């Protein structure tokens, strides 16, 4: 039973990582019906941005846990958010916006191009900043005292502090996002635009601005996920956005793409499924080498049996 | 291109501009008899006085064309008769000036980079640059020509056939010459020359005419194209390096053509297409009788080909059946996920994490060369006094495979199925309403495309000697897609060109291999922004991407004039 609980908790913390990224896919898709393929790279940029912030702060390694958690971590989060939001807005402005009325294939191909470009850009030029490590190989992520490597025993299970951070981050972000979408003027404008862009425009909503906000919100959450990823795995890599992005997209589809709470639920379900699949599928196919396969099999199963996703957003039928 | 110089000014200064331009072109021609570089180790040596090197001669040719384009109109509008407005003299002169200058600039840059600094550029190089700038500025003052209408001029069939055959011969020797360059500078210079000539012919109206000629003599075109491709190994004099590149280009092009059915005709974005190639390659490797293969049965190759194709298309069905119902964007991601599943699975079937089928990440090495009907593909043969090595053998085999794929593609394109596909691409709902069985047709395209990739994969396995999972990563799928997009979705020529560019450039331009992917990403974004229909545009496709009425009218006009042989003189223009 403890083993089962432990796996569920591992799954939940992994799933919150997916959920944080998935929100970005879902928000953007809900408004412009674009699969922002480069969103995984925005997540990666967030991680590298937070690392850059840490470098600029003078690579503090020996701060007290209180200082680390209350000063260093927020600074890194903000640095990461600034980096990913900037990049996301730039891609929106220069890559996607000119294609807004183009056929569906064009922005998707652009998104692939953006994704490859951003990966390569980080790989080639991150190390060119004076004093920065070469990004061609994985970079060890700075340890935050009080979080990295700290385990909390809780009954029969052990929880890593980094997992607590990820779960907490998801919780805080979800509450803030809920508040933003349902209570703020801009958030309501977003909802209106996703329901009917033309009418929203007629009602005086600046659709361009709403789209930018959607990209920015998604990017900010992805940056938080980037920091969480760094703390969880202890290193960051220019390739990390590819698989994470793919998983997060799976989570978004699982929950019902276009539906924000769906993305959160989908992420958690996907994380738990992965964790349970690797521990409870008997035989060779239960080894961790297969965990990504099970995640994608889940995606395909969802598309067969419930294409509108678990929480059932509107049925998407656009060629 | 809109010009900054007012039409009135152009009309008034056209004669002096023409003369100044001719002077500039003459300077460029004179420059090839001077030394361009102080050192002799660059661009195959351009450092002699009075003895132009081949590259200098090509530059001289470009300059001579410029001179001719400027000089011939001097005889006057009346004496040129219809040729005065059928061909776009002035606009083409400007294009020729641009490309002459570009070629001179590439050569000067190559000298400067190759020898370390602009100090090494001799008077000849500078004279060429100065001449180029003078010509370019002068041509800006020429009045714009009307659109060339050479394609409306009646011509005898023998002339059309002759033109096609001549064009193909030029392609053959041009390709052989391009591949002969070892240094990046010379390669880039020659490519600039080729692109320049092509742009000049395009602007002049020649390509429009060749297009009509090719459409009228389709069979001649196809046959001569294959004859040229078939003859290519004979121009290589037994050089394996170039034949290896050429075979890789064909393998890549064959796969891209298969993807072209799925993406270009039906409009389904498949981001995991490489998995089908991989499925074919692994199947063929496992059945190849290699010492490392995990199955003890070695069927004859024709059967292996069929099995490989079938395995791939069954995978296509498995992945397509659930996802093709929820049309659109999901497919892109599911195929992407499938590509990953395939790679991970091939990695895991190593006897440790799963049953042993593929030896995991080591893959299956030591795949024997093909032997078909006693013909050993691994052995070199001497045909007509030319060594035909292993790579040339595979090149010919791939040529046959590519020919089959093109035949399938063309026939499907003009069949009932093909029209159904295009209808789905343009508007799926409307197609369904018109009675097109969209699901079945999409599934057919998906499985058929997979089958073709599987066939190519079975040849690739033998060509590569070993098959490993890491050859089949997402990036390869992205490259295939880029070849299709870059060349022109839904066209055969375009995809062949796109595949050639994407395979050839990295081979010849090693120095930028580090920035290859960065440029590739940027290229995709820029293409989609400015020319989403690709280098060779499918007419219908062009309309789809550029949503404007003017173009629609133009295309319609084009289709009408196709059958009309009138050549009216445009009104109000100057030569």
Work out how many CB contacts closer than 8 A connect A with B. Answer: 149
Question: What local confidence, expressed as pLDDT, does residue B548 receive?
Answer: 62
What is the distance between the alpha carbons of residues B231 and A295, in angstroms, rounded to a whole number? 50
Give how far the C-alpha of residue B315 lies from the chain's centroid of Cα atoms, to the nearest Å. Answer: 30
Mean pLDDT, to the nearest integer, of B297-311? 85
What is the distance between the alpha carbons of residues B113 and B42, in angstroms, rounded to a whole number? 9
Chain B hits for A286, Cβ within 8 Å? none
Report the 3 state secondary structure along chain A. Answer: CHHHHHHHHHHHHHHHHHHHHHHHHHHHHHHHCCCCCCHHHHHHHHHHHHHHHHHHCCCCCCCCHHHHHHHHHHHHHHHHHHHHHHHHHHHHHHHHHHHCCCCCHHHHHHHHHHHHHHHHHHHHHHHHCCCCCCCCCCEECCCCCCCCCCEEEECCEEEEHHHHHHHHHHHHHHHHHHHHHHHCHHHHHHHHHHHCHHHHHHCCCCHHHHHHHHHHHHHHHHHHHHHHHHHHHCEECCCHHHHHHHHHHHHHHHHCCCCHHHHHHHHHHHHHHHHHHHHHCCCHHHCHHHHHHHHHHHHHHHHHHCCCCCCCCCCCCCC
C-alpha separations of B96 from A162, B198, B389, B426 in Å: 64, 10, 41, 38
**Residue boundaries of the structural domains of chain B:** 7-228, 250-537, 540-569
Question: What local confidence, expressed as pLDDT, does residue A6 receive?
Answer: 87
Instruction: Please answer yes or no on whether B319 and A110 come within 8 Å at the CB atom.
Output: no
Task: Indicate the pTM of the whole model.
Answer: 0.82
CB under 8 Å to A242, separation ≥6 — which residues? A40, A115, A119, B474
CB under 8 Å to B491, separation ≥6 — which residues? B260, B264, B534, B536, B537, B538
Task: Name which of A66-80, A198-212, A282-296, B409-423 the model is least confident about.
Answer: A282-296
Q: Is the pLDDT of residue A315 over 60?
A: no
Distance from CA of B326 to the nearest CA of A (A): 7
Dihedral pair phi/psi, residue B564, rounded to 5°: -115, 140
Chain A hits for B427, Cβ within 8 Å? 319
What are the structure tokens assigned to B462, written together?
């033998």
Chain A hits for B344, Cβ within 8 Å? 289-290, 292-293
What is the distance between the alpha carbons of residues B402 and B313, in angstroms, rounded to a whole number? 18
Question: What local confidence, expressed as pLDDT, does residue A319 receive?
Answer: 31
* Mutation site for B-interface testing, chosen from A122, A242, A300 by largest number of B Cβ within 10 Å: A300
Give how far the C-alpha of residue B4 lies from the chain's centroid of Cα atoms, to the nearest Å. Answer: 33
C-alpha separations of B164 from B176, B228, B406 in Å: 18, 12, 19
| DSSP-assigned states of every residue in B206-225 | HHHHHHHHHHHTHHHHHHHH
| B372: DSSP letter | E
Mean pLDDT, to the nearest integer, of B8-27? 87
Q: Is the pLDDT of residue B539 over 70?
A: no
Q: How confident is the model at residue A227 (pLDDT cuts 50, 70, 90)?
A: very high
Q: Which of B18, B51, B10 is nearest to B32 (CA)?
A: B51
Q: Is the pLDDT of residue A231 over 70?
A: yes
Chain A hits for B477, Cβ within 8 Å? none
* Mutation site for A-interface testing, chosen from B263, B272, B329 by largest number of A Cβ within 10 Å: B329
Chain B hits for A124, Cβ within 8 Å? 514-515, 518
Task: Name which of A71-75, B63-67, B79-83, B385-389 the model is least confident about.
Answer: B385-389
Distance from CA of B353 to the nearest CA of A (A): 5
Chain B hits for A111, Cβ within 8 Å? none
Q: Does B547 contact chain A (CB < 8 Å)? A: yes
Instruction: Please answer yes or no on whether A292 and B341 come within 8 Å at the CB atom.
Output: yes
What are the structure tokens assigned to B509, written together?
């331009």
| B382: DSSP letter | E
Q: Is the pLDDT of residue B20 over 60?
A: yes
Q: Does B470 contact chain A (CB < 8 Å)? A: no
Dihedral pair phi/psi, residue B371, rounded to 5°: -130, 110
Q: Does B517 contact chain A (CB < 8 Å)? A: yes
More confident residue, B327 or A319: B327
Residue B38: CB atoms within 10 Å: 15
Task: Give the tens place of pLDDT for each residue, B455-466.
Answer: 999 999 888 888
CB under 8 Å to A178, separation ≥6 — which residues? A260
Q: Does B543 contact chain A (CB < 8 Å)? A: no
Question: What local confidence, expressed as pLDDT, does residue A316 receive?
Answer: 45
Q: What is the mean pLDDT of chain B?
A: 83
Q: Is the pLDDT of residue B138 over 80?
A: yes
Chain B hits for A117, Cβ within 8 Å? 518, 521-522, 525
Chain B hits for A121, Cβ within 8 Å? 518
Four-point Cα dihedral A69, A72, A75, A76, nearest 10: -90
Q: What is the mean pLDDT of chain A?
A: 87
Binding-face residues of B in 227-266 toward A, CB within 8 A: 263
Instruction: Please answer yes or no on whether A105 and B269 come within 8 Å at the CB atom.
Output: yes
Q: What is the largest CA-CA distance in chain B?
A: 84
Distance from CA of B255 to the nearest CA of A (A): 18
Distance from CA of B168 to the nearest CA of A (A): 33
* Mutation site for B-interface testing, chosen from A32, A118, A246, A296 by largest number of B Cβ within 10 Å: A296
Question: What local confidence, expressed as pLDDT, does residue A318 receive?
Answer: 38
Q: Which residue of A has its CA nearest to B348?
A: A289
Question: What local confidence, expressed as pLDDT, does residue B2 receive?
Answer: 53
Question: What local confidence, expressed as pLDDT, does residue A218 receive?
Answer: 93
Let me know the angle formed at the C-alpha of B385 by B382 and B387, rounded to the nearest 5 degrees: 45
């Amino acid at each position: 039973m403890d083993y089962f609980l432990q796996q569920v908790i591992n799954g939940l913390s992994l799933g919150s990582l997916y959920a944080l990224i998935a929100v970005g896919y879902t928000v953007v898709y809900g408004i412009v019906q674009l699969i922002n393929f480069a969103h995984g790279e925005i997540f990666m940029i967030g991680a590298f941005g937070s690392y850059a912030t840490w470098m600029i702060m003078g690579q503090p390694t020996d701060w007290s846990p209180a200082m680390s958690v209350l000063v260093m971590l927020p600074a890194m989060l903000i640095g990461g958010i600034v980096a990913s939001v900037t990049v996301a807005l730039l891609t929106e402005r220069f890559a996607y916006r000119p294609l807004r009325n183009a056929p569906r294939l064009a922005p998707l191909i652009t998104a692939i191009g953006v994704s490859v470009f951003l990966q390569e850009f980080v790989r080639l030029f991150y190390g060119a900043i004076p004093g920065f490590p070469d990004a061609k190989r994985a970079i060890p992520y700075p340890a935050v005292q009080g979080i990295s490597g700290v385990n909390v025993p809780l009954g029969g299970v052990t929880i890593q502090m980094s997992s607590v951070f990820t779960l907490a981050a998801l919780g805080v972000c979800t509450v803030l996002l809920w508040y933003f979408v349902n209570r703020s003027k801009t958030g309501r404008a977003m909802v209106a635009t996703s329901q009917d862009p033309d009418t929203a425009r007629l009602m005086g909503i600046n659709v361009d601005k709403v789209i930018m906000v959607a990209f920015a919100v998604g990017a900010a959450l992805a940056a938080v996920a980037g920091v969480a990823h760094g703390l969880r795995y202890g290193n960051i890599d220019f390739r990390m956005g590819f698989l994470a992005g793919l998983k997060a997209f799976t989570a978004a589809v699982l929950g019902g793409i276009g539906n924000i709470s769906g993305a959160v639920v989908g992420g958690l379900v996907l994380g738990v499924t992965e964790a349970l699949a690797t521990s409870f599928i008997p035989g060779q196919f239960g080894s961790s080498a297969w965990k990504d396969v099970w995640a994608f099999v889940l995606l395909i199963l969802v598309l067969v049996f419930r294409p509108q996703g678990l929480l059932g957003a509107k049925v998407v039928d656009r060629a | 291109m809109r010009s900054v110089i007012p039409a009135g000014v152009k009309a008034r200064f056209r004669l002096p501009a023409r003369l100044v331009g001719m002077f500039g072109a003459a300077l460029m021609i004179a420059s090839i008899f001077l030394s361009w570089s102080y050192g002799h180790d660059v661009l195959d040596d351009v450092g002699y006085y009075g003895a132009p090197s081949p590259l200098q001669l090509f530059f001289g040719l470009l300059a001579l064309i410029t001179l001719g384009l400027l000089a011939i109109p001097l005889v006057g509008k009346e004496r040129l008769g219809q040729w005065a407005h059928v061909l776009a003299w002035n606009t083409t002169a400007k294009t020729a000036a641009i490309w002459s200058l570009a070629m001179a600039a590439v050569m000067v840059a190559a000298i400067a980079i190759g020898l370390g600094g602009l100090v090494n550029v001799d008077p000849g190089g500078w004279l060429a640059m100065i001449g180029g700038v003078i010509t370019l500025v002068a041509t800006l003052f020429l009045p714009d020509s009307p659109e060339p209408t050479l394609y409306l001029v009646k011509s005898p069939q023998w002339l059309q056939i002759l033109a096609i055959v001549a064009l193909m011969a030029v392609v053959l020797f041009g390709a052989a010459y391009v591949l002969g360059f070892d240094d990046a500078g010379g390669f880039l210079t020659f490519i600039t020359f080729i692109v320049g000539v092509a742009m000049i012919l395009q602007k002049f109206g020649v390509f429009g005419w060749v297009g009509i000629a090719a459409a009228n003599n389709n069979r001649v075109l196809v046959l001569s194209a294959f004859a040229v491709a078939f003859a290519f190994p004979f121009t290589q004099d037994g050089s394996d390096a170039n034949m290896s590149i050429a075979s890789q280009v064909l393998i890549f092009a064959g796969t891209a053509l298969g993807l072209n059915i799925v993406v270009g005709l039906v409009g389904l974005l498949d981001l995991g297409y490489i998995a089908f190639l991989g499925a074919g390659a692994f199947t063929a490797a496992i059945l190849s009788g290699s010492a490392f293969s995990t199955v003890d049965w070695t069927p004859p190759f024709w059967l292996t080909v069929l099995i490989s194709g079938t395995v791939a298309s069954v995978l296509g069905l498995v992945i397509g059946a659930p996802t093709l119902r929820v049309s659109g964007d999901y497919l892109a991601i599911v195929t992407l996920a499938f590509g990953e599943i395939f790679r991970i699975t091939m990695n895991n079937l190593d006897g440790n994490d799963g049953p042993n089928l593929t030896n995991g990440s080591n893959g299956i090495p030591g795949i024997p060369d093909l032997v078909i009907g006693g013909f050993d593909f691994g052995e070199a043969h001497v045909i007509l006094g030319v060594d035909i090595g292993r790579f040339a053998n595979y090149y010919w085999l791939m040529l046959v495979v590519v020919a089959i794929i093109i035949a399938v593609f063309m026939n499907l394109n003009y069949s009932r199925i093909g029209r159904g596909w295009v209808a789905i691409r343009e508007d799926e709902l409307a197609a369904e309403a018109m009675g097109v069985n969209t699901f079945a047709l999409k599934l057919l395209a998906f499985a058929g495309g997979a089958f073709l990739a599987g066939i190519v994969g079975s040849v690739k396995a033998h060509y590569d000697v070993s098959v490993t999972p890491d050859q089949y990563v997402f990036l390869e799928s992205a490259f295939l897609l880029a070849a299709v997009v870059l060349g022109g979705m839904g066209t055969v020529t375009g995809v062949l060109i796109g595949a050639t560019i994407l395979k050839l450039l990295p081979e010849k331009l090693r120095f930028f291999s580090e920035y290859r992917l960065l440029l590739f990403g940027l290229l995709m974004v820029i293409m989609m922004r400015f020319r989403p229909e690709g280098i060779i545009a499918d007419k219908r496709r062009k309309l789809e991407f550029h949503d404007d009425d003017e173009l629609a009218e133009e295309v319609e006009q084009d289709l009408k004039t196709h059958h009309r042989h009138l050549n009216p003189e445009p009104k109000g223009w100057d030569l």
